[in-house]
Structure 1
Amino acid sequence: MTVSRRQALAAVPAAGLLAALGRSAWAQSGFETARIITGFAAGGTADVISRRAAEKMQPGYARTVLVENRTGAGGQIAVQYVKAAASDGATVLQTPMSMLCIYPHIYKKLPYDPVADLSPVSLGAVFDLAFGVGPMVPASVKTVNDYLAWAKESPKRGSFGVPAAGSIAHFMGVLLGRAGGVELQQVPYRGTLPAIQEMVGGQLPAVCGPVGEFTQFVKAGKCRLLATAGARRSRFAPEVPTLVEQGFKDMVYRDWFAFYLPPRSSPEQVQRLHAALASALAAPDVVAGLAAIGLEAQSSTPAELAAMQRKELELWDPLVKTIGFTADS
């Protein structure tokens, strides 16, 4: 008998034990299937982080963890769905920050309370935003200032795609236009990926969104990044200068994805999901997989996430008022 065969046979009881533990865990949870709800299209960063987490949460958190893309209303439909879901731990929301920290300032009748209607569980990932252009924009446009000068020549050139109206990407583009003395018009999509696809197809000049969403298209030579919006150059696009480097001194934007449970979820349910997510987000293949699309995997405690959310809510209130945008207008 070879060593490898002895090891394989010895591993059988251990494998059986792990399987039994997995079955016991999901049996005790009260559900065999859990769902992660995300408000954006399949293939985008919101979808990828949900699927990476879901793979690692099986079978310990639930026997099967599915991802559902409930798109529409700039991510609101997903939040509403989880708000109304049973508080049994089987339905999880994964959302970018904008839906919870910016939308309350731009919608007079937001169909959910971002604090009262959700139970914070954990941060999922952080990422920088980027401004990219496609084949509609001439190769001579190499910087954001070049683009603003080009856009000034015709109103039709001043449109840019965003993952949702009222998102950080939306406001970043508007503020860039104001800094350059040109009105840039945002065009909302159900996620950044559909916007980029329109841009590389020649129907849209520019897109503002997560830096990782552009990666595959930049590598294929179908679009190019003019700037990233972090405090320092993105490690995912180190050759691209930041907005600060290009003279936009106050424009530093970083967004995040996070996980929530429905309201009235018990502390035990929150902690159980938190443990599953913390383990999933620390897995080397998850860290590497998210890095491949420009996301930095990062978990947090429920209390830390709640504090981050409160801080962002306060931060964006005066900024939204300065911009003067309301989604109801």
Structure 2
Amino acid sequence: MPQILSRKQFLGSLALLGAAMALPALADTFPSRPIKLVVPFAPGGNTDVVARLAAQGLTEALGQPVIVENIPGANGSIGASRVATSANDGYTLLFGTAGTQAINPSLYKNQSEKTLDDFEYVALITSIPNVLVVNETKTPVKSVAELVAHAKERRTGLSYGSPGTGSTVHLSGELFKSAAGLDLVHVPYKGSAPALTDLIGGQIDLIFENVTPALPFIQGGKLKALAVTSAERLPLLPNVPTMKESGFPAFVTATWNGVLAPKGTPRAVVQKVETALLKVAASPEFKARVAALGGEPRQMGSAAFRDYTRTEFKHWAGIVQAAKLEKQ
């Protein structure tokens, strides 16, 4: 006997059918207006620079303007939260980092591992390692081994700077502190520029800075690079060993950049942006520009990016716990 649907069931079925039919149409018409790419940090940093390179490429690939909007604050959490609660139509995207996606869930009381599920993962396109630098006038060492010995000879702990609590720069310092068994004092700043200025001026002893802002001072001879935190040596600093080579085999840290969309963004839309973004990341021009910043171009698609973020969350959560940092 044929099943008779109620009016409510019939209308519900029509709605589901309409939504299913709308997905291909949405993919065909997207994007039909400008897209906003939120950078959750202030203008001028390496995340902002790479985001603008990506936005330029996406504008050409998608045929609509991709406009960068900077929403800084709380180690990127404010901008990330803004995107997570935006309409899930593909027109508001996040330029996420290791900080916003993998570190902050362990640092902020209103976040947890569940926060990772607030987004659709589009693609990861760059990785930028840190570099351990010192001012030789204040800290007269030429290697990581000499730095460790120098720190252990001091009666009081050496100080290390960072552009803020919870950054990969800060947590790289904490990892070094625990791995080498050192008494180090963290000095947080409001950005990389003042931290590097004080390092050059002798107010602090060392910093695990992102390669991008530290590179000009290394090349100009104002700072001495002791090691990079990447898995392999960097082409721009071929004579600088890795932390792995310097006696710390598990010491690999970096910030990274990828694009995310609000949870529930249609898969067809995510795939369209993913395809365009990976095309941008594979272009010789993008690779050259990222390499010039000291970064490593990456081409990691949606599923791999999602899995990688969870691996990174566990990695940084372990460092946060070892450092006994209280949630903010």
The TM-score normalised by the length of structure 1 is: 0.81
SS of match in other structure, 2:62: coil
**What is the one-letter code of the residue matched to 2:87?**
A
Q: 1:99 maps to which residue?
A: 100
**Deviation of 1:193 (Å):** 4.5
Q: For 2:151 and 2:72, how far apart are their aligned partners in 1?
A: 31
Deviations, residues 137-191 of structure 1 (Å, cap 9, x unaligned)? 34x2222343344455364x62222244223332221232234443223333455
Kindly indicate whether the alpha-carbon contact (under 8 Å) linking 2:31 and 2:64 is maintained by their aligned counterparts in 1. no
Kindly indicate whether the alpha-carbon contact (under 8 Å) linking 1:41 and 1:190 is maintained by their aligned counterparts in 2. no
SS of match in other structure, 2:115: coil
Q: 2:131 maps to which residue?
A: 130
SS of match in other structure, 2:290: helix
Q: For 2:31 and 2:318, how far apart are their aligned partners in 1?
A: 44
- How many residue pairs get matched? 302
Using the aligned pairs only, state the percent identity: 30
Deviations, residues 202-228 of structure 1 (Å, cap 9, x unaligned)? 544322132233212211222221111
> Within 5 Å, which residues of 2 pair with 1:1-329?
28-29=29-30, 31-61=32-62, 63-110=64-111, 113-134=114-135, 137-138=138-139, 140-151=140-151, 153=154, 155=156, 158-328=158-328
Deviations, residues 62-106 of structure 1 (Å, cap 9, x unaligned)? 532222222221111221121122222222111222322222223
Q: 1:197 to 1:286 in 2, by over 3 A?
A: farther
Q: For 1:294 and 1:178, how far apart are their aligned partners in 2?
A: 27
Q: For 1:36 and 1:204, how far apart are their aligned partners in 2?
A: 36
**What is the one-letter code of the residue matched to 1:289?**
R
**What is the one-letter code of the residue matched to 1:268?**
A
SS of match in other structure, 2:225: strand
Q: For 1:159 and 1:214, how far apart are their aligned partners in 2?
A: 17
Kindly indicate whether the alpha-carbon contact (under 8 Å) linking 2:227 and 2:240 is maintained by their aligned counterparts in 1. yes
Deviations, residues 28-87 of structure 1 (Å, cap 9, x unaligned)? 335532222112332322111101111112244253222222222111122112112222
Structure 1 residue ranges without an equivalent (≥5): 1-24
Structure 2 residue ranges without an equivalent (≥5): 1-25
Stretch of structure 1 that moved more, 47-56 or 30-39: 30-39
Q: 1:316 to 1:180 in 2, by over 3 A?
A: closer
Kindly indicate whether the alpha-carbon contact (under 8 Å) linking 1:26 and 1:62 is maintained by their aligned counterparts in 2. no
**Deviation of 1:135 (Å):** 6.6
Kindly indicate whether the alpha-carbon contact (under 8 Å) linking 2:31 and 2:62 is maintained by their aligned counterparts in 1. no
Q: For 1:276 and 1:191, how far apart are their aligned partners in 2?
A: 32
Q: For 2:248 and 2:169, how far apart are their aligned partners in 1?
A: 15
Kindly indicate whether the alpha-carbon contact (under 8 Å) linking 2:75 and 2:99 is maintained by their aligned counterparts in 1. no
Q: For 1:113 and 1:136, how far apart are their aligned partners in 2?
A: 46
Stretch of structure 1 that moved more, 257-266 or 242-251: 242-251
Q: Which has the larger radius of gyration?
A: 2
Q: 1:186 to 1:67 in 2, by over 3 A?
A: farther
SS of match in other structure, 2:126: strand
Q: 1:119 to 1:175 in 2, by over 3 A?
A: same
**What is the one-letter code of the residue matched to 2:51?**
S
Q: 2:23 maps to which residue?
A: none
SS of match in other structure, 1:234: coil
Q: For 1:32 and 1:26, how far apart are their aligned partners in 2?
A: 13
Kindly indicate whether the alpha-carbon contact (under 8 Å) linking 1:75 and 1:164 is maintained by their aligned counterparts in 2. no
Q: For 2:115 and 2:54, how far apart are their aligned partners in 1?
A: 23
Q: 1:17 maps to which residue?
A: none
Q: 1:19 maps to which residue?
A: none
Kindly indicate whether the alpha-carbon contact (under 8 Å) linking 1:103 and 1:110 is maintained by their aligned counterparts in 2. yes
**What is the one-letter code of the residue matched to 1:294?**
G
Kindly indicate whether the alpha-carbon contact (under 8 Å) linking 1:163 and 1:191 is maintained by their aligned counterparts in 2. yes
Stretch of structure 1 that moved more, 26-35 or 88-97: 26-35
Q: For 1:120 and 1:280, how far apart are their aligned partners in 2?
A: 17
Q: For 1:111 and 1:136, how far apart are their aligned partners in 2?
A: 43
**What is the one-letter code of the residue matched to 1:144?**
V
**What is the one-letter code of the residue matched to 1:207?**
I
The TM-score normalised by the length of structure 2 is: 0.81
Q: For 2:137 and 2:36, how far apart are their aligned partners in 1?
A: 40
